[in-house]
Structure 1
Amino acid sequence: MTEDEAEAIVCDHVPRETAARLRRYVDLMRGEAVHQNLVSTSTLDLVWQRHILDSAQVLPLAREAQDLWVDIGSGAGLPGIVVAILREAPAMLIEPRAKRAAFLQHVVDELGIADRTSIVAKTAASAPLRPAGVISARAVASLDALFAMGLRFATPETLWVLPKGRSAADELAAARPSWHGDFRLVPSQTDSSASIVVARGVRPKT
């Protein structure tokens, strides 16, 4: 898959304004990469495939959820900013590192999505407590740790959408002894060896 193909997959079927926001976000990310290590330098030339499309693919998995989307450890805004651009519903991006949170706030303001997107410069443990319709996290922590971090935002109906790369099956196997839930693995569109953990009804085993 080329960068042009990845960009087309994301942009060709959304409104022109939405596509423009995605492209502006890519520009902002590349510009900020000079000042801080948002993503691996080796992936900046593949940003549409490795980051934008990789993030956008979580949206169809949560198509019916219109409640608050909580993204834990948003970092460069992946998948949180991409979700906030593509989905006209509330999103809360949690990023404890001040410099990255400041970048995310700049992006949200620049793209004109601050009315539905809040940036929380705190840890998940100290972020404002709001029930989530969807919880996501990408390249943040082990699955077991993510469930522990996000549980305070979860209801029995909360959908968890967690891109886990090539370690997905192993992480899910490691988490099962400690957590109840309806779990499944969805193959990634951008890496044939990677998967997304999709879960509902997550609760600790006692």
Structure 2
Amino acid sequence: MMDEAGAKAWLRDAFDVSRETLERLEAYVALLLAEAKSQNLIAHSTFDSVWSRHIVDSAQLLSFADTSDPSRRWLDIGTGPGLPGLVLAILGCQVTLVESRGRRVTFLYEAAETLDLQANIRIEGKRLETVETVRHDIVAARAFAPMAKTFELAARFLGKDGMWILPRGKSVEEELAAARDSWQGDFQTVQSVTNSEAFIVVARNVRRRK
């Protein structure tokens, strides 16, 4: 497991994170931990490892995307307190955050204002099924639904060249096998940098089987 000092060092090395960006990430962590005392945003057991368990765990998704075009738009479904969406926005991405739980939506708006991220994000405080179909380049979902259900609900937001970047747990192969019953595409499974039992599924050309 990566410790907190190692997590910050990884961020600096992987993305050449500036001092200003690191300070904004630190401000987000402070907001997250403060709000987590009054609502269940992250597991209490991860309070002392928030940088590795949540910040790096979110930021690593950027490693799989083409960063040469800053206009590429992410869709983060079931973002909760902004994981990974707010972290990606702090790192310079354009992100739409979808979250249906009212108190978490309020936190997202407050965090976006405090961190001055309004230009980078759009917040959809509603169920994904009711969000207007707008094309995005990348769909991320850290803790939303099984993979097959995620494809079913979110495929309409991606064009033919879009990609999926989906953090998963140790049962990733079983989940991927279940998804392949009704979906086909080009799937790559990569081990997370933060946990040997966590993985990221990177998928392209995903389409329903005929």
TM norm structure 2:
0.94
Equivalent in the alignment of 1:165:
169
* 1:155/1:201 contact within 8 Å kept: no
1:185-204 correspondence runs (5 A):
185-204=189-208
Range moving further from structure 2, 27-36 or 62-71: 62-71
Where does residue 45 of structure 1 map in the other structure?
48
Say whether residues 1:155 and 2:159 are aligned partners. Answer: yes
Pick from 118, 127, 133: which aligns with 1:129?
133
Looking at structure 2, the residues matched to 35 and 83 of structure 1 have their Cα atoms a distance apart, in angstroms, of 24
Q: What's the CA shift string for 1:150-202, capped at 9, x where partnerless?
A: 11101111110000121211111110110021111011101112210100111
Inter-partner Cα distance in structure 2 for 1:2 and 1:91:
28
**SS of match in other structure, 1:156:** strand
Q: Which amino acid aligns with 2:6?
A: E
Give CA deviations for 1:116-149 in whole Å, capped at 9, x if unaligned: 2111101111113210100000011100111112
- Consecutive unaligned residues of structure 1, counting only runs of 5 or more, are none
**AA paired with 2:121?**
T
Residue 74 (str. 1) matches residue 75 (str. 2) = no
Segments of 5+ residues of structure 2 without an aligned counterpart are none
Pairing 1:20–2:23 present: yes
3-state DSSP class of the match of 1:69?
Answer: strand
1:70–1:93 contact (8 Å) kept in structure 2: yes
Aligned residue in 1 for 2:32? 29
Tell me by how many angstroms 1:63 deviates: 2.6
Give the letter for the 1:9 counterpart: W
Preserved CA contact (<8 Å) 1:30 1:44: yes
The whole-number CA distance in structure 2 between the counterparts of 1:140 and 1:119 is 16
Please say which of residues 56-65 and 20-29 is displaced more in the overlay: 56-65
Equivalent residue for 1:112? 116
Instruction: Tell me if 1:56 matches 2:55.
Output: no
Question: Once the two structures are superposed, what CA deviation does each residue of 1:40-91 show, in whole Å capped at 9, x if it has no partner?
Answer: 010011100111011111101013464210000000211111111112x421
Which residue number in structure 2 is paired with residue 102 of structure 1?
106
SS of the residue 2:178 aligns to: helix
Cα separation, 1, equivalents of 2:81 and 2:9: 22
**Who is 2:149 aligned against?**
145
Structure 2 Cα separation of the partners of residues 169 and 81 of structure 1: 28
Instruction: Give the aligned partner of residue 2 of structure 1.
Output: 3
Q: Where do 4+ consecutive residues of structure 1 move more than 4 Å? A: none
The one-letter amino acid of 1:114's match is Q
The offset of 1:23, in angstroms, is: 0.4
Count residues in correspondence. Answer: 205
Paired amino acid for 1:31: A
| Aligned residue identity for 1:71 | D
Normalised by the length of structure 1, the TM-score is 0.95
Could you say what secondary structure the match of 1:39 adopts?
coil
The yes-or-no answer on 1:177 pairing with 2:181 is yes
